[in-house]
Structure 1
């Protein structure tokens, strides 16, 4: 998927589900479930030994069945890892911090890049390196009004909040009310009990609910 289409998907839907899943079959079923629920993006977090092997088969599954799904990789902390996942078909790269050497790699390959930023200086540096959307992480560590304060001197900045995002109106209204353009949702959406029980129908229904809640929170 082209980088512009990735950003458009993230901004239009304003929610990116994310998870690390160690088993290939389970990972494919998660993709099936969230896609059926209406999600059009997924961030696979690079948090386990051999995670790239699972992603490789997941990406093949998406290319064959869901070509309009933006499939990215998160928890990427160095350029070689980013290059590996881009070669395997990642549409976008997400980092928990600002890793400058990832920027030219993604820019050269026209791959979406969403670095983690926590201060105005980090945001400014990321944007000077070409970041269109920056990730505020961890969201559950910031006080009410933090996003609004970040945007005050830089209203053109697009912030996606990850960490502490919950599938309820109160939580989502906080983030979008402060000016976030999107949220990343992990365990609140891809819940451990649903994964453990193989309740993919429940996951599908929760995905659809989250899309509706986000749309309402955005107004």
Structure 2
């Protein structure tokens, strides 16, 4: 998947569920729950040893589902994620070494930033889209507005402290293409296999985004 395809998919859906999977045997059932709610995208974080195998199982079951590998912090993880079938990579911070490596390998990577200096570094490395993390504690939408001003072509995916009650505050900003969040797919819900609840939360989130976007 190229960057333009990633951007279009995220702009269409507007929500990127951020998921930690502690048992890869639950991966396909979790994907079922997301798809049942009409959310065919997921970020599987490498904060679990099962991340790569979970990505593999999801992509084998649903090749059309867009799956990102999150919390990628080194080149080894980047290779593992892509080999497992991840469509693109997301890192919590910005690393020139990692970005250069992904550029060489033709991997799509979205690095994390939270300051103007990091935004400038991202732009200097040819990055068009960044994860703004942790969004809430880094100043929220006001910080994005301030940081984005000198970088008119930079787009943002804020993540961290975002939920159904504040997501549209971010999405109303034209520099924000989507928001990452875990409130629909909390670790405890996944561990407890509460898939119907996950679907219910996904439906509610997408409805909230759709209704509010229609008003603007």
TM-score by length of 2: 0.88
Which of structure 1's runs of 4+ aligned residues deviate more than 6 A?
none
Instruction: Find the counterpart in structure 2 of residue 185 from structure 1.
Output: 181
SS at match of 2:44: strand
Asked if 1:148 is matched to 2:145, the reply is yes
Report the alpha carbon displacement of residue 8 of structure 1 after superposing the two structures with TM. 1.1
Instruction: Find the counterpart in structure 2 of residue 209 from structure 1.
Output: 204
Aligned pairs for 1:52-131 (under 5 A) are 52-63=52-63, 67=64, 69-131=65-127
Moved more, 78-87 or 189-198: 189-198
CA spacing shift, 1:180–1:216, aligned 2, 3 Å: farther
Equivalent residues of 2:128, 2:153 under 8 A apart: no
Deviations 1:4-24 (CA, angstroms, capped at 9, x unpaired): 322210122121111111212
Q: 1: distance between equivalents of 2:102 and 2:4?
A: 13
Deviations 1:25-67 (CA, angstroms, capped at 9, x unpaired): 212111111112111211100012353233332332222xxx1
Q: 2: distance between equivalents of 1:28 and 1:173?
A: 29
Equivalent residues of 1:107, 1:130 under 8 A apart: no
Instruction: Find the counterpart in structure 2 of residue 160 from structure 1.
Output: 157
Equivalent residues of 1:24, 1:58 under 8 A apart: no
Q: 1: distance between equivalents of 2:93 and 2:111?
A: 6
Equivalent residues of 1:17, 1:41 under 8 A apart: yes
Report the alpha carbon displacement of residue 158 of structure 1 after superposing the two structures with TM. 0.4
In the alignment, structure 1 segments of 5+ residues that lack a partner are none
CA spacing shift, 1:172–1:54, aligned 2, 3 Å: closer
CA spacing shift, 1:196–1:48, aligned 2, 3 Å: closer
CA spacing shift, 1:177–1:6, aligned 2, 3 Å: closer
CA spacing shift, 1:107–1:8, aligned 2, 3 Å: farther
Name which of 147, 171, 174 aligns with 1:176. 171
Q: 1: distance between equivalents of 2:45 and 2:188?
A: 19
Asked if 1:132 is matched to 2:139, the reply is no
In the alignment, structure 2 segments of 5+ residues that lack a partner are none
RMSD: 2.0
How many correspondences in the alignment? 212
Q: 1: distance between equivalents of 2:163 and 2:78?
A: 28
